[in-house]
Amino acid sequence: MMLWCGTVVSTPATAQASYPSRPIRIVTPLAAGAASDIALRILAEKLAARFRVPVLVQNQPGAAGVIAERAVTNAPADGYTILWAGNNTAIGVSLFKEPVDPRKELRPIVGVSEFAYLFVTSENSPFSTLRQWMTAVKEKPGTLTIGTSGPGTTNYLAALLMRSI
């Protein structure tokens, strides 16, 4: 996961209060309770203690992150509205008609964490390996399903790639 900030416009440094002087809002495209949302909330608590200002987490899921990205790019570019995002931020440029272009509209601040994707089934499943599941998919097309966090997300694209194998 990466923290991103809307593009900052250069302004004179005269008479500016030290940063941060008011609450910081971190917008995330993830649903509340997701693993990286939990990591973000832990980070927000640590940042609030360090900066001595509230750090608020705002979940805005949908459109593979574009809704949250737009919330950040439409906010004043003053560093008080920050995006918590991952690979989807870079992927949206090629998938959506009116995406946020992180190369032009966002500035990365820091890489924070990495999360692995897991392929899991019920413990009652007849499959104990990915190879077994893939074989069954080929032998019985349309009978097995896979769940992802939505179109345009990295795990959705991984599922499409698996389908093409």
Domain boundaries, the chain: 2-111, 130-164
Residues whose CB falls within 8 Å of the CB of residue 117, separated by 6 or more in sequence, listed in order: 154, 155, 158
26: closest CA among 58, 2, 1? 58
Angle at CA of residue 100, ends 41 and 57, nearest 5°: 15
pLDDT of residue 55: 96
- Residues comprising the chain, all counted: 165
Report, as an integer, the average pLDDT of 71-80: 91
CATH superfamily assigned to domain 2-111 = Bordetella uptake gene, domain 1 (3.40.190.150)
pLDDT of residue 126: 92
Residue type, 46: K
Q: What is the pTM of this model?
A: 0.71
Span 77-91, pLDDT tens digits:
898 999 988 777 777
Using the predicted structure, report yes or no on whether residue 111 has a pLDDT greater than 90: no
Span 30-62, pLDDT tens digits:
889 888 889 899 999 999 999 999 999 999 988
